[in-house]
Structure 1
Amino acid sequence: MEAAVRWSGHSNEEKSRFLLVDFADSSLFLHEVDGIKDRNVTHHRVAHLSKLPSFNAFDWSRTTPSIAALGLTTGYASIVQLSEDAPPEILTTYRVKQQRKCTSIALSRESWLAVALDKARSDVCLNVYDAGAQYGAGNARTTTSPSLHALTKNINTIAIDPCDENYFASVGSVEGPFMSLWDRRRMSNGTDASNTGAVLEFTSVVDNRLKATVSSLSFAGLQRGRLAISSSLGELKVIDMILSNETFVQQSQYAPTNPYGGIAWTSNDCVSETRVIQSPNQDIGSGKHNVKQAIAFDWMASDAHVVDQGILVLRADRSLDVVRARHTKPIACVTARQELSVAEHDMQYLKSVTASQGDARDPSPTYVSAPAETEVTRMLAPSTMQRDRCRRGYLFDSRKNAEIVRGDWQLQRLWEIVERFHSQASNSGMVYNNVDLSYIGVAGIWSENLGNIFRRTYAPHDLSFEDMVVGLNEALSIPQFDGERTDFPEHRQLCLAICGWKFTSEALETECQELIERGLYYQAIVQAVLHGEKHMALNLFRSLTRSKFIQQNGIGALLASDNLNEAQREMCLWMSADTDDLALKALLTFLEKGDWRDVMKTNYLHLGYRVALGCKYLNDTELSGFLQTETARAIRNGDLEGILLTGLGEQAMHLMQTYLTRTNDLQTAVLATAFTNPRCVDDVRWEMWKEVYFQQLQSWRCFGERARFTVQYNRMSVSREGKSMIQSPKGQITLRCVGCQGSLARTDSRYVLGKASDSSIVAAETPNAKGPAAQTGTVCLKCGRHLPRCAVCMMWLGTPENARTRTPGTTGAAAAMKGFLSFCLACGHAYHADHAMEWFGKHRECAVPGCKCACGVKSGYTVNGA
């Protein structure tokens, strides 16, 4: 440590002072603050204290301004009396058995002195003395017996909490940024290794990616448990801790267990919040030096009721400034335009940095309390991504959805499964004898669970579930089951069809070629082997090695062998350990063990392959247990691939609820479950999800996308008889009078804001609604109020303009649109459509005098010459 700064605990509004400590010169500089404005501090020197013994550590008494504690280079600790007019006087000196460097020192309000020394094998490193009893006697004394001590390596810097002086913190040496929080009440004067008063241990209290160490440490003094730390890289961090009021933790037989192993959590002390006030200097590794890097700091005394507390920071160039640490968290929100707004007490414009500038450094201001740029991007990404997907057509087309979410394998697998469900259910493909089995998952087919049978049954019937499965297999031309001996072969075949199993060699070859085109070479080989087509797998391997897509690694010889010897099995084992391709790992595991059951115990293949393997090679009891376990796991974890097991029925709603809680992806949850709500499922959660999603669409200004959602969803929600299963929505777009909110339609006097109108709102007849004005449509038939005037021609909107001439050559849709009305949703002013086009073809702002609304920019009109 080169220098330090200490704020006077006796400062007030009239006189504020602080000390600058120069360890190289062993001198102190007393300064008085003239004024503080924003971050700038003006001050002048009051006194210069020199002729002090050489010291490495310093602390200033909070109760007596003339008392200071010095940690000497010899390892001794001295209590010194300071004076502006006289030389310093040593009151008490504390010696140690083995001389070594004193690394840190701290003096409490109750005159307890904590001294940290370099580590030694034969002596303790942390001593606590009762200094009040020593220097209070009035004569110089020397002592060697500490009141308390502990064995620890964290002796680099010590700080005592003024709000509760039972607690003090110490940080580690150059080995790493370790920190311990101590409770003096738990310490003793024993020398055994079990003697420890540490209540919290931190293994990396600052950013240690560039081998940083802690340079300064200080408690706030206004809030119990609030601690600030600075590192050798200039990082400034604030840690808020919750400290127990009890000396010892009350042991309880009902103490919570520790899910990470070890003993139960019984401590009442914990960390509540950690904030980075100033980010570390990222140029240290490149040899550059930042003269504005923080090297020391101290908290400034202020009113505990203010919004934030100041921290006096000493920079590398010996300049001083003030940064703020808030007592409460700032309020932040994301606007409809995806702008992050933060409510702060004092904000100012710094600079604008765009991505095109190519600045390699972080564009955020250096000394602003803000999260890193990558963290803000991560927080804003989900909402922005869902909005972009919506505008790209993320709706009910499963194939298009899978293409939009390409790169997110979980969402991609979801839409592949939904597409398979949808193609099987098209043209009543899953309806047999007036019973609809569409969108039922593998678990539902195997357990014969239809879900809401009343919504899936169109007419009375007396067939069993097994009869319906047999009839469906015949209708879908599914061949006989060939696999493990079972009592339910038809169930297994239907489950395999739901999994996407290929029952013909031509379909299997087509599937393998599609996988090869997607770059999934070993997965194509596994697909062939899984179907029992080894010759097809060998042909694929031969063509891929000749085309240099995969390397010749001996897999072909292993595939061609019916039985592997011990050396070949060992080769499969080490090849599986060396590769990162999960499909190749699964293939090598099968070749080594010779049983697909061993492959199913791993996660090398995704759930669809493992379920198909279970239907093919497990007996009935094993298959039932496997499906129940995987279904429960998928619902518990919110695994979207579990839709293959649950289908899109009632269990899918539970799965989507967990997925929604985990990811906040309401968009996918609504779109995927819309295929069966309300046709097959009656769940009130879906209506709530849909309404919230509509609100999101409104905030994104995706009005067209919302309309397409409504239209396509209404087309899907139709019964087998062609009747709509949802209530007709009330009119959402209606021209209404701004005076009485009544509809402007002549024949529509029944609804006002979607509700039945009463006589007090809709008048039967008004004087202004009579005569020619009422016939032209320029006044409201209910309250007699006029329509707005055109901001350009000042005529009432809706008035026929016989004198207006059409532009020569304008025909069709362009000519028809000129007769419509145009309103600005921002300022509310109205235009004739052709007048708006003419005006905003030359101007950007509204035509109404005094209105500065940029209607032309918001409406998308093109300004000539712009």
Structure 2
Amino acid sequence: MSGLKPDILWSPQHDNKFIICDSEIALYRMDPVAAPAAMTSCHRLSEQTAATLLAINSETPYMKCIAWCPRHDAECLLAVGQANGRVVLTSLGQESHAQVKDLTCKEFIPKHARQCNTLAWNPKDTNLLAAGLDKHRADFSLLVWDVNSKYGVEAAAATAMPQFSAADRGRILLTPEGDLGHIVMKPLAEFGQNDACLSIAWIPHNSRLLLAGMHRNLVTYDLRDTSQKQLFANSKAVQGVAFDPHFNNRFASFVEGQVAIWDYRMSEKPVLTLNEPPRQLSKVAWCPERPGLLATLARDSGVVRLYDMQHTQAPQGDDTEPPIIERSAQPFGSGAVAAFTWIPTSQTRMLALSQARVLCDFTVFERIAFAWGPSPALLWACGRHLYECEEKSGVVGKVSMREQDVAGKMKRRALAGYGLETEIVWKNFQLAGDQDPQLKSLWYTLHYILAGTDFSFPMIKFGTGTLESQLPPVYHGVKILVKSESGKTESCVGAEHSVEVVTYRSEARSLALQLCGWRPCGNDDVDTFLLSLERFNEWERAAAISLFNLKIRLAIQILQKGAASGKGVRKLPRLIPGYTDDRASLWREMCGSLRLQLSNPYLRAVFTFLTSEVGSYDGILNESDMAVRDRVAFACMFLNDNQLFRYLDKLTNEMKESGNLEGILLTGLTQDGIDLMASYVDRTSDVQTASLCMLQVSSFVIEEARVQHWVESYRDLLDAWRLWHKRAAFDIHRSKLDPAARPLQQVFVSCNFCGKSISSGGTATGHQGRSFTQYNVGGSPIKSKVTSCPGCRKPLPRCALCLINMGTAASPNVGEEEDRLSQVQKLSQFNSWFTWCQSCRHGGHAGHMMSWFRREHTECPVSACSCKCMQLDATGSLTSAQLD
């Protein structure tokens, strides 16, 4: 006959003690490695824990099943079921309680010998022990013993019957041989005649009910009525019955390669069926710390499978299969697992036993669900714990680590009102608070586009129905503007201080220079632009632009000013006056070598311009550190049409591929501009700048699908940050450019009789697109006297104070205070508004109601009404002047 299957049982009284059941019973204590026990035979379980052997019991032979007593005064009291059907109480420790000592070595013997399959202690009435036996045609298979009974087994040598009470005599049985040396007590209850009991579980919500897995049925037995049984379900899954410790009505059972999850309130069929690989299951166990987590083990398998069934606690429909999360763990790699148990102090740790009798304390790692928060923080869940990883507010150089994250940047900019400046658009760059040259170029380009909308230039012709056909010329960008006037360019030779170059002019090139900022408001004089550069200490850039405009003397003066201020290069102003057009001069050779040593790109461009051949400006056009707008403006002045078109096409493609915002100058707010902005968003995720840029300039661009996606994403971000006022300001700004984005009217005054809006002409949807202008709500100077509903012509309600029908203007002379206010302003817009209490529904003109409650009235002005309207309104203490 085979012995007990290897198993691990955790102590119901201690979180650090467990037993291993095999041919013998071994008691262990688990301790942290940092605090090793003073005992020998220490086994390493993991890097953090070790197990110490405390006791061994090898005196109980023929073990088939074991159950640990849950009594608090019995730390190591065990019930052992044997192959002959006997149930023996044994102990692994020195029990101090006298009553527990009396229980040790007691035996409970059935009438007929057969194998004991399962044992279960009652968790509440801990003196009750249930035993499940194999089938016998003349005996019961489910026996319930009272271990506290006075007689269990008496090894009596007396030849006469001991003296028993009358109550005990009815429970005394003789052995089949009639031997008086063994006096056996009858069980407290007997169930399951002529059937086999394979598993037992006490029902948690009723300590007098037993759920037993019989041969092909799940049956409920009641200790209060042993003559009755209740068939729970007809099923083959009758082994390993175990209730979920977190849900009293949910339990699991299994058969061969299938696990059934049951709801005790529904006995028709399992609520969930789990199909295991084609191996016979040996154990199922619920996690004691986490609801709905079930672990299963198949024979000779190295995998412990886990099923997370959080959503099966409620009954499901017949046609729906509840979702579960399935995982697996291999504590020994490819080695087989003989037994396992959950560690009761953790919801992710298990203790496993290999077939070579090696113990392993391993962690079941969760499938981590994580999400980025709207602020620069990462949030993830692991079991019952929620973790947040956030960057520390350290400083790296001059840039905070938090500011490096795009979400932190967008939130900080939104709080500063970034993008909502419409009068002086370039100030949005200052509101951004960053020194990003691309961002600076973007907002200055938008500023110059808005400033150039009145610039006289013929409309550019495109195909009808395209985005470009609806845009003013300045919205198309420099590339399209310049190409639109191909063949109309005039060339001229400019000279000053012996500097002779060929420049090109046209109306389109002049507009391009305006968009680049070199010709403010279309003025040919660049002195205003140069003065603005000097105010920001951009001396080198101002000198270069002055030189490119053939004002070499002004360039020298600018460099001298910069040197005097201490922020410019001091020695360079002395080199420029030595300019000569002799190609073999020493000056050109010295400047050529000096150019390579300069760190400022504009100074390198200055010396490249002075030393290069006429028409050969690759050194300036390819100077990547120079602003794109300056390179484009230089090309518009010094390149012919063919050279200019090729250069602009090349530069535009580079800007679109890299998502460089400076390229908006070239593409404008056309389809190419949206493509460039899409590349920028893909690179930086800055939907804020993309949305505000498109909304700032053109209403036609807003209808593009990608722009709508950026706008909605930014609105969702503002809502996630709880910046609802900023989101409302953004919506207002958006509605000014996009009429379709204006929200429909949601509140309107309806007639008491027909229920229609009094502002509509009797139509059901008229209120959505109309206002209360005829009642002076919208600020109309005409005070209409409409006192009846336009739909049913019934009169409107009367004001509770002046008794005039609503819809007429409120007289300001309703008191001395109003008389004084009328000298400052005659008739307030707010005074004529419809106002009523949401509780009693009485009201009138807003000005009259404010006057009534301002005079220390708290009750409704209607005589038959006792509503405390004043106490219900938080704005009741405000004056009408504050509300106007």
When normalised by structure 2's length, the TM-score is 0.45
Asked which structure has the greater CA Rg, the reply is: 2
